[in-house]
Structure 1
Amino acid sequence: MAWLDRRYSPDNPVVHRQELLDFKFEGRRFPLIDNQLGIRKPAGLTAALSILTTYTSDGQRAPYEDALGSDGFLRYKYQGNPEHYTNRGLREAHTLRVPLIWFFGVQQGMYLPFYPVWIIADEPQHSQVAIGLDEAQVTLAQNAESLSPLERRYSERVSKQRLHQPVFRQRVIRAYNSSCAVCCLRHVSLLDAAHIVPDRDERGVPAVSNGLALCKIHHSAYDENILGVRPNLTVHVRSDILQEVDGPMLKHGLQEMDGVTLTLPKRRVDRPNREAIEQRYELFRAVG
């Protein structure tokens, strides 16, 4: 985890698979992930060291399916047979209350690490364990059966903010080749992953096809309905904004974007969902 701290940078928080396989500890090779399995339980350690969620494209499965329970805690499935040594390693991590690392796939062979995380419950009847992402969730889990609605909502918000949102951001920005879809700005620190259908809407799934990589000014303009995206994927700047007279940012940053065609991901599966674009554009038109 200290190595991951040193490895981290805001512009590039992901780690490559080969880095994790080639990791060395005290001068010897000590992989942080298993080459074949989702759970890494090294020989000589009682508990598991890490868990891994493989990257999958939109459409292959629902985003984060079965990941979030009704109590707001995330789940992780067993590796096959419940008595497999890796699953026993997860249970030992729970018993010993030791932290793990969760490597979540954001692109083929690239992972966003979350750490420390804890196994807060073992659920063999569902072949899974529950995961706590911070100490607050670990504390809540001690009384999981009697959580109030407020505590459940809090736990769900923590799970989304600490895992779903960072994963969504990385997947969207990487799909758009680290470039704003509107103005092509390529400064990663100034880019956001904007939802087309907001995540507060039940249809606002955390899928790349429900996202746009936008610089911060165009993200804010999109959220505030200053600009919209037509079903033909061209930008529509609100008419009253086009008539305003102000400085160069208004002129070059917003007014000149009217009619621009979005720059899209290379992979068709990553491109904006047509129904989501149409739904969001109708909202823009209603407000404008």
Structure 2
Amino acid sequence: MSGAVPEEHVRAAALQWLSEVTFDGTVPVTRDQLSNDFSVGGFRFPLVDAGRGIRRPAGWSTALSVLTAVPKGSRGPVYDDAEGPDGYHRYKLRRDARGAAENEGLRTAMTRQTPLIWFKGLAPSVYQAIFPVYLMAEEDELSQFVMALTEEQRRLWPTSSRFEENLRRYLLTTTRRRLHQPVFAYRVMQAYGTRCAVCSLGHRELLDAAHIVPDAEEGGAAVVTNGLALCKIHHAAYDRHILGIRPDYTVEIHQRLLEEIDGPMLRHGLQDHHGRTLMTIPTARAQRPDPDRLHRRYDLFRQA
């Protein structure tokens, strides 16, 4: 089948399918989905290979995807992919006889600037789809490729290895944000059972992992105790200090909203939650919102 449909058409269809299934990369996918759920031309077309980190379909000149797995019983990926000092991510080549053709598929993708898909392991057989990504250079002495994770990074790739410090810091920040935010979101959703802390809405596509203390501030680490699972309306209200959460998990709505008369969304979506405790909190005490961080954020709400 791979020869019946041009590889560029399959690639485009795969990117479109992933965009729909993952809601533009915000929802994780499982290995079972990636192996069985995508089809093109009426035929199943796996997006990953069993036991291999690089997917170069038979007859293709370029690779389709790369994968960084989390093995069973482990908390992190088995491979040592990492951010480089220039702020770009690195992906390790496969250094064995079976990997020669796969590595060549990556080199061809780099030369042609073909978009790739990166499946980054969040847990065993669970992945965050990061796409499209591009290979910008090969560092043969280190057996790795330089990977741009955003279109902006691709445009900024320098012809020189020298970087201004501000640019290096910016690139490192964007790389880490794209890599670490999905892990944070995955863990927060697990802790809250994929339900909004305020209203218990359970549709993942309508939920966000919100920081209590913003990640750009001191104390804003991407840890579950600094996170809340919030539906999009309550996340927006929390960010704009319309909705506050006390350290004892009581919800407050700003007085100016309580005095307004509007439609049912205002009444049921916000006003009715005033004075109520959070409807959903993690079962494990170690994962519950940090009271000190809640107090810090609640003070900002009261000042608004």
Report the TM-score range of the alignment, normalised by the length of the smaller protein: 0.7 to 0.9
1:117 counterpart residue number: 133
1:48 aligns with 2:58: no
Residues 35 and 45, structure 2, Cα contact 8 Å, conserved in 1: yes
1:9 counterpart residue number: 20
d(CA) in 2 for partners of 1:89 and 1:29?
Answer: 22
2:52 counterpart residue number: 37
Cα deviation 1:207-259 (Å, max 9, x = unaligned): 445321112332234334441241x5x22427x73995333636862463434
d(CA) in 1 for partners of 2:219 and 2:168?
Answer: 21
Identity of aligned residues (%): 37
Task: Name stretches of at least 5 consecutive residues in structure 1 with no aligned partner.
Answer: none
d(CA) in 1 for partners of 2:257 and 2:104?
Answer: 66
Question: 1:3–1:254: structure 2 CA closer, same or farther, 3 Å change rule?
Answer: same
User: What is the total number of aligned residue pairs between the two structures?
Assistant: 280
Distance apart, 1:114 and its partner CA: 2.8
Larger deviation, residues 120-129 vs 81-90: 81-90
AA partner of residue 292 (structure 2):
E
2:222 counterpart residue number: 206
Residues 257 and 271, structure 2, Cα contact 8 Å, conserved in 1: no
Residues 82 and 127, structure 1, Cα contact 8 Å, conserved in 2: no
**Matched position secondary structure for 1:263:** coil
1:19 counterpart residue number: 33
**Matched position secondary structure for 2:110:** helix
Distance apart, 1:6 and its partner CA: 3.9
**Matched position secondary structure for 2:20:** coil
Question: Which of 275, 281, 287 in structure 1 is aligned with 2:295?
Answer: 281
AA partner of residue 53 (structure 1):
T
Question: Which of 86, 97, 115 in structure 2 is aligned with 1:99?
Answer: 115
d(CA) in 2 for partners of 1:130 and 1:152?
Answer: 14
Larger deviation, residues 11-20 vs 215-224: 11-20
Q: TM-score, normalised by structure 1?
A: 0.73
AA partner of residue 264 (structure 1):
I
Give runs of aligned pairs for residues 1-288 of structure 1, distance below 5 A.
1-4=11-14, 5-6=16-17, 8-9=19-20, 12=23, 14-22=28-36, 23=38, 30-54=45-69, 60-61=75-76, 67-79=82-94, 84-85=99-100, 86-106=102-122, 108-143=124-159, 145-156=161-172, 158-159=174-175, 164-165=180-181, 168-169=184-185, 172-173=188-189, 175-201=191-217, 203-225=219-241, 226-230=243-247, 234-237=249-252, 241=255, 244-247=258-261, 249=266, 253-254=270-271, 256-265=273-282, 268=284, 271-272=287-288, 274=290, 277-285=291-299, 288=302
- Backbone CA RMSD of aligned residues: 4.1
**Matched position secondary structure for 1:139:** helix
Residues 172 and 193, structure 1, Cα contact 8 Å, conserved in 2: yes
d(CA) in 2 for partners of 1:55 and 1:17?
Answer: 11
Residues 122 and 186, structure 2, Cα contact 8 Å, conserved in 1: yes
2:8 counterpart residue number: none
Residues 23 and 205, structure 2, Cα contact 8 Å, conserved in 1: no
Distance apart, 1:73 and its partner CA: 1.6
AA partner of residue 33 (structure 2):
E
Distance apart, 1:26 and its partner CA: 5.7
Q: TM-score, normalised by structure 2?
A: 0.70
**Matched position secondary structure for 2:132:** strand
